[in-house]
Structure 1
Amino acid sequence: MCEPKFYQLTNDLLFHIVMQKSEVALKGLVASLLSKKVEEITSVEVLNPIDYSQRISGKRIILDVNARVNKDTLVNIEVQVRRFEAWHLRSLFYAARMAAQSHPGKTYAELPIIRQFSILDYTFEEEDSAFFSEYELQNQKTGKTYTDRFRIAIMDLTQRNLATPDDIASGRLIWADLFKAKSWEELDQLAKKDTLAREVVDIMRTAMKDDGISFAINEREIAEMDALTREKSAERCGLERGLEQGWQQGLARGLEEGIEKGMEKGMEKGTARSREAIRSNMIRAGFTEEQIALALGE
């Protein structure tokens, strides 16, 4: 029997489907990101389930996973494979929005714990690289935590070689391998070594055997490729326009400078010829060299 078409787990729609269909996988990922044991996750609920039978290929559709964990924690998990220059601000916006919309009508003391997780397949910090980084509000002078209820974390899949013992113990490295696997063969090898990986791989394979899901994922991928093509085309057009404008401006400046230099040289030559003519006339009139030099300002 033929294997279903392969898509990496970094495909945002496939990722959302796996998390939505498997509570085991969702619990495993959440526990890993929160640095908890799976048994510490007593409850988990996807708050933004999707109907993948509907058309969801629009490039502006955001397929992050929102979940409530243990009834007191709100988690947002987003996978991003293309560089997003303002990702710091985007992740901050999502975390702040979760906090603002979490418990309308409740007291501040009842606000849930907020955890924003970004799983990126590009280097997030060139100068301060790390596999897994967490950020929270602190006193700038003393380093004292302002509150531990609001935290943003980054998992950089390109920095798996920097995984710490804590990353390995929490299972984050296994998840990175699942996200980075590029074939069913690679996934099957991971599934043989880890029961959670086996659950994820089974859900991925089952999902891809569903014609409706497979079509939706393929359509989503085409939309992403089209969006990337449009962006690249816009960048290329912008570059071409910039080069053309620069060439025209450079040509104009060159002509202007050429004309100015030509005029300067012409005036210099004209002045020189005039002085020679005056000198010749004064010599014929019988003036001395001292008188000529004085007249010409030499």
Structure 2
Amino acid sequence: MDMYGRHTGDGQEPLYESLMNDVLFHMVFTENSLALRGLISSLLDIPESEIEEITVLNPMQYTDAFDAKLTVLDLRVHLNRDRYLNIEMQVRRFPNWTNRSIVYSCRQIVDQSNAEGFEYGQLEPVIHIAIMDHTLFSDHRRFFTRYAIQDREGYPYSDKLQFYVMDLTAVSGASDQEARQGLVEWADAFTAKGWEQVQSIDNPAVKEAVKQMRVIMSTPEQRDAVWARRMAEIDYRSIMSHERKEGRAEGRAEGRAEGRAEGRNEERADIARRLKDLGIPIQDIAQVTGLSEGDILSL
């Protein structure tokens, strides 16, 4: 058994974990360049032959004591020395997610401008790619969408800031072109529920990813890091569910004993502490609990 009481699968089929686990996602595409090359080819709709150089800018040492807190774990890539990609597996709904993605992308632009000898003509595009298990805009549900800066007639202002969103829940609406470029196969790989299902996908890059998944889930240190992340996700979802239920109960009991209100404030503070321990951004904790950012910081 592993540190979480799970059978490790040693000597037999390794335990399966979905690529929607962002730690596993990061491991697979950091460690297997063929899988990463194929994924980028599909996401950007470019031939693999045009991918000459891939540099992962944020590799991680998984054998060290791994921080399973729910901080953002994107995969930052410099492609062909002429564009930056931020690829993230996003399975949590963040308040103001679009604003957050803009801030993250603009940081990459600022980082470029801070380089010694920088000139405006040297600015390289930054493409933020989010793979989501939910729909970002309920009134605009699409499987794969590219957002760019342009006017009302579609004339581009600049290509330096772009946002791609893959909605895994909308794969049934994929176009023929999206299927041809391999996006449907990748979506199937991300949402596969077991080894048999993911191994049935006939895509060379996906097969490389699956091969790397097996290696990772057979390596104790890496497997423990993957499970730690999963447990942190479960804790987070449990806290959020509890908070929603308590919020509804509070609404029904509004106006009751003042002592209960005081107890409620203590409970909010406790939830805020637990969310801080999971690495949730302060502004998100404030929105969930109703506490001020100053109060949360002082906990």
TM-score normalised by L of structure 1: 0.78
Match of 2:216 in 1: 207
Contact 1:57 1:223 in 2 (8 A): no
Structure 1: unaligned runs, 5 residues or longer: 250-298
Instruction: For residues 228-285 of structure 1, give each alpha carbon's deviation from its aligned partner in whole angstroms, at most 9, with x where no partner exists.
Output: 2122222222222222115689xxxxxxxxxxxxxxxxxxxxxxxxxxxxxxxxxxxx
- Distance change in 2, residues 1:228/1:108 (3 Å): same
Counterpart amino acid of residue 244 in structure 2: E
Match of 2:17 in 1: 7
1:185 corresponds, among 196, 204, 217, to 196
Match of 2:277 in 1: none
Which 10-residue stretch deviates more, 71-80 or 100-109?
A: 100-109
Match of 1:260 in 2: none
Instruction: For residues 95-143 of structure 1, give each alpha carbon's deviation from its aligned partner in whole angstroms, at most 9, with x where no partner exists.
Output: 1111111242311110111111000011222222111101111123x33
Contact 1:134 1:152 in 2 (8 A): yes
Match of 2:73 in 1: 63
Match of 1:124 in 2: 136
Contact 1:81 1:120 in 2 (8 A): yes
Match of 1:169 in 2: 180
SS in 2 for 1:245: coil
2:125 corresponds, among 113, 116, 119, to 113
Counterpart amino acid of residue 182 in structure 1: K
Match of 2:60 in 1: 50
Match of 2:235 in 1: 226
Instruction: For residues 186-224 of structure 1, give each alpha carbon's deviation from its aligned partner in whole angstroms, at most 9, with x where no partner exists.
Output: 01111xx22212111100011100011111111111112
Aligned-pair RMSD on alpha carbons?
1.7
SS in 2 for 1:150: strand
SS in 2 for 1:117: strand
Larger-gyration structure (1/2) = 1
Moved over 4 A (4+): 246-249
Q: Which has the higher relative contact order, 1 or 2, with Cα contacts under 8 A spaced 6 or more apart?
A: 2
Tell me how far apart the structure 1 counterparts of residues 128 and 181 of structure 2 sit (CA, whole Å): 17
Structure 2: unaligned runs, 5 residues or longer: 1-10, 259-299
Match of 1:38 in 2: 48
Contact 2:70 2:229 in 1 (8 A): no
SS in 1 for 2:254: helix
Counterpart amino acid of residue 210 in structure 2: V
Contact 2:82 2:124 in 1 (8 A): yes
SS in 1 for 2:252: helix
TM-score normalised by L of structure 2: 0.78
Counterpart amino acid of residue 132 in structure 1: F
1:156 corresponds, among 144, 154, 167, to 167
Contact 1:129 1:159 in 2 (8 A): yes
Instruction: For residues 57-86 of structure 1, give each alpha carbon's deviation from its aligned partner in whole angstroms, at most 9, with x where no partner exists.
Output: 443422110000000110000111122242
Tell me how far apart the structure 1 counterparts of residues 66 and 252 of structure 2 sit (CA, whole Å): 38
Which 10-residue stretch deviates more, 181-190 or 233-242?
A: 233-242
Match of 1:133 in 2: 145
Match of 1:216 in 2: 225
% identity of equivalent residues: 33
Tell me how far apart the structure 1 counterparts of residues 180 and 25 of structure 2 sit (CA, whole Å): 23
Match of 2:251 in 1: 242
